[in-house]
Structure 1
Amino acid sequence: MVISWNAARRVRLKPCHLPVSRSSPRTDLAVEARELALREGRIRGVDEEREEHEGVVIRRVRVSTQVAARRLGKRKGTYITIEAPGLRRRDFDLEDRLTCIVAEELKRLLPERAETALVIGLGNEHVTADALGPMVVNRLFVTRHLFSYMPEVLGGGEGYRSIAALAPGVLGLTGIETSEIVLGVVERLKPDVVLAVDALAARSLERLHRTIQLSDAGIQPGAGVGNHRKAIDQETLGVPVLAIGVPTVVDAATIASDAIELVFRELGRQVPGNAANRLLDQLTSQEKWQLVREVLEPVDQNLVVAPKEVDEFMENVAYLLAKSMNVALHPAMTFEDADLVTH
């Protein structure tokens, strides 16, 4: 544990103890899964579009076949990744642009004629890096009760959807599978669509706290850190499920593996043809990662890390997502209105 903590401190990261997959470098991001799979050759049934807007890159990955879904480890559907390197810095202009982009992309994913929606805030509110879902739910403008008891607040309801929100907690605290809680609420409320918000795990440090992913394929809570729970998707709930997430943690073995790769690359530049580099070149990226995982296992096999500014970042990105969702879910709401109702 001392070695892992010192390594985390040198790269200015905080350790977070969550279960981690031990067989492969996991990621919740479809773009990363596609990049990893492409190293083994072209993938049929996966298409990607890319566009750029003032420092913001939008990548749309569409997984259209079951074979492609198995290769990527992602369900069939559309995955929209919004990458903004400046998101880790407090840039108000960038945050305003991102709010607009996320709102517009979310509007495109919402089913037509969806009049009611249930928002699920997944994660553990007692663990900062895993608290994104509950933090977003706490900032939403929920309206289901207003339609019944205070319709005048909504001006008759024109241009507003009936929105309910729930943070169901995690299995370790409730003793109930999240999917069971959500299914019970869905059966009672019968929403037209469910939106699930969750913290994600990334494969690359470059995407940590700089990426937002939207998807119409549902979500499997905890998949990115090897803590597999039952999926929350259209198959299990019977209604369309949109997933919204931000990568907040990365596996410690990934950091160590990437660092070793950089060290040996520099060593190869300074001392060409050395034996250590020749040995490393014979290993695939997966084999290198697995080697690091086996070395770290006696120290701490369940270590993931988050940037040290995670507390401030989570507050900022939760507000950004909640504001975007408020605008996307309520057609009559302007961004100025959203500033007033987003807590």
Structure 2
Amino acid sequence: MKYRTDLAIERMEMAVSKADDSGDKAGGKREGSPAGGEADGISVEKEECGDGVSVTRIEITSLAGEARLEKPMGNYITIEAEGITEGAEETKEKAGQVIAGELSRLIKFHSRLKVLVAGLGNAMVTPDSLGPAAVSKIRVTNHLFEMFGADEDDEMSRVSCIAPGVTATTGMETAEIVAEIARLVRPEVVIVIDSLAARDIQRLNTTVQITDTGISPGAGTGNHRTGIDEKTVGARVVAIGVPTVIDITTVIGDALADNVENVEKMERYMEEYDRQMIVTSTDIDMLIKDFSDIIANGINKTLHPGIYS
């Protein structure tokens, strides 16, 4: 079965599982990349942060690692916080702090830092509205620098924001819109926020992924658009996403995991009738609000340390 996922941590788990299965079939157990180790151009580091929040940092360091995880070389940071779905305030607060800390590793604040934040997705479709919801809560400051003729500030970055919509409603490639705005703003860093797809239902609405390799809008749901990365926008791109949807085929396949015959029948049925369905949770509206708050707070703390301490 071809699983859809935007998460590097799930790609790694699938690669390890595949390697282990190959070892079993060859007559001996062959272990995949262990936590904290490095194999095939992939290094992994895990950390428990308290209040139910953990971080897994994956770095792809070679072409072999790229091929294994089907992701470009770079850093992939996964923050997992299951308590968010239960409304735990301490988990939300801790998740925001961890996001700010991880972003600060990738984006070093300085008095002349200029950043463009783009909230990707469709504001009218709740599972896809994370980007527009989060970007509406970012403290925008570019106009203040213009108003006072300032070139630098020790407390805050020069931040511009945009919610470019989706191709179906604008008729334009989102990457082209972001690239054109970046040409006008000339940021040092572009931060993009988007909804993602997961392979494991346990990671639905409990996980945040941060990467410095850019993003391909719609890739996890099979709707590939032009990528938003340093090559296409002319500035370093840091992407932040939350898996809000999962392929129904994956859910059914996992439920039937112990019955291979039924899994094969299900796969044939889906292929024959071309039933491509993406599902989300019933409380997605509240989760979008929670995660947009958490992500916006993390970004504001990173970009405006003198205001959000």
- So what's the TM-score if we normalise by structure 2? 0.88
1:215-267 residue CA offsets vs partner (Å, 9 max, x unmatched): 11111111111110111111222211000000000000000001111xx3xxx
**1:38 matched to 2:16:** yes
Query: Is 2:281 aligned against 1:304?
Result: no
Q: What does residue range 1-343 of structure 1 map to in structure 2 within 5 Å? A: 24-41=2-19, 42=32, 44-54=40-50, 55-111=52-108, 113=110, 115-149=113-147, 157-261=153-257, 264=258, 280=260, 288=263, 292-299=266-273, 301-335=275-309
Q: Which runs of 5+ in 2 are unaligned?
A: 20-31, 33-38
User: Which string of whole-angstrom CA distances, capped at 9 and with x for unpartnered residues, describes residues 38-66 of structure 1?
Assistant: 12324500111001122211100111112
Query: What are the superposed Cα offsets for residues 153-182 of structure 1, whole Å, 9 maximum, x if unpaired?
Result: xxx843110000001011111110011111
Q: Which has the higher contact order (CA 8 A, sep 6+)?
A: 1
Q: Distance in 2 between matches of 1:292 and 1:26?
A: 16
CA contact (8 A) 1:151 1:157 kept: no
Q: If each structure's helix is expressed as a fraction of its own residues, which one has the higher value?
A: 1
1:115-147 deviations in Å (ceiling 9; x for gaps): 100001011111000010000111110000011
Matched residue type, 1:317: F
Counterpart of 2:89, as a letter, is F
Distance 1:316 1:112, change over 3 A: closer
Which range is displaced more, 247-256 or 103-112?
Answer: 103-112
Larger radius of gyration, structure 1 or 2?
A: 1
Q: How many residues were matched structurally?
A: 288
- The answer (yes or no) to whether the contact 2:58–2:77 under 8 Å persists in 1 is yes
Tell me by how many angstroms 1:331 deviates.
2.0
Report if the CA contact (8 A) 1:49-1:61 is conserved.
Answer: yes
Q: Which amino acid aligns with 2:5?
A: T
Distance 1:133 1:150 in 2: 30
Q: Is the 8 A contact 1:213 1:244 kept in 2?
A: yes
Distance 1:294 1:235 in 2: 40
Give the TM-score of the pair, scaled to structure 1: 0.80
Kept after mapping to 2: 8 A contact 1:123/1:199: yes
